[in-house]
Amino acid sequence: MGRRSARSVSYAASAAVKAGAGIAWLVAGDMWDDETWHSLTEHTVRAARTVGALNVLPLALSYRAAVHVHAGEFDHASALIDESGNLIEVTGNSPLGYAPLLLLAWRGEDPRAAELIEAGAREAVSWGEGRATGLAHYLLAVLYNGLGRHDEALDRAERGAKYEDLAVVGYSLMELVEAGALGGRPEAAATALHRLEEYAGAGGTEWALGILARSRALLSDGRTADLLYQEAIERLRHSRVTVHLARTHLV
């Protein structure tokens, strides 16, 4: 086999690994399986570094950064995002916008955050990323809930929940429950909770059940709410999603 053919086979294999790993990461996230999400991304980054798979590494770093964001490790996430961006610039691969925008939404510090998320979604759509629109609505719901702008969060979460994409609809429903409960729209929150019970209940992880308990607590009061918040805190304490544990303490 000649050099050109060998390179073609190598590239094809790398692309197949990239696609397969990406689907696995998305499924783990969609199932609220933070342990598998952590293990898959850690293993793929390590393997890609070891073999020098520059076609896989930027995507692996991006998904690994997302894991760090959910763990509340924003500085680690930022470093991986920078490394991924540098590799993309060198290799000429397609840009990866999700992790930077996720970090932007959760930090909530940049006054241009909403504008940047919208712009990032438009760019992603232009190069064929079909999940970009739903993800943008979800990220804006995160941002607006964090800023206490619950009416805007509700609007974005409702729009995001219409996209039946992996790791989009369930997360949007979570934001929708919070936005409705804290923004004076309990009927919208209750409808979202009913759908969330299906998605999070299927996951059955500490992350999923913790989010479900918190969401139910938001629509309860008195002793029932107290017990549900305690359950949520206890479950999320045993997961890797520190940002959701912090939010549970806040609400």
- Residue 142, pLDDT above cutoff 90: yes
Assign residue 239 a region (left: φ > 0; alpha: ψ between -120 and 50; beta: otherwise).
beta
Q: How far is CA 174 from CA 112, 210, 220, in A?
A: 24, 11, 16
The pLDDT score that the predictor gives to residue 133 is 85
- Residue 127, pLDDT above cutoff 70: no
Structure tokens at 70: 């959910």
Question: Residue range 127-132: average pLDDT?
Answer: 66
Other C-beta atoms closer than 10 Å to the C-beta of 66 total 22
The pLDDT score that the predictor gives to residue 12 is 37
The pLDDT score that the predictor gives to residue 15 is 44
Task: Give the percent of the chain with pLDDT over 90.
Answer: 68
Q: Are 32 and 208 in contact (CB under 8 A)?
A: yes
SS3 of residue 251 by DSSP = coil
The pLDDT score that the predictor gives to residue 7 is 36
Structure tokens at 247: 């939010």
What global pTM score does this model have?
0.87
The pLDDT score that the predictor gives to residue 132 is 80
pLDDT digits (tens, 9 = 90+) for 182-238: 999 999 999 999 999 998 988 899 999 999 999 999 999 999 999 999 999 999 999
Task: Give the percent of the chain with pLDDT over 70.
Answer: 88
Handedness of CA 31, 69, 15, 135 (dihedral sign): positive
The pLDDT score that the predictor gives to residue 222 is 96
The pLDDT score that the predictor gives to residue 164 is 80
The pLDDT score that the predictor gives to residue 5 is 36
pLDDT digits (tens, 9 = 90+) for 144-192: 999 999 999 999 999 999 988 777 899 999 999 999 999 999 999 999 9
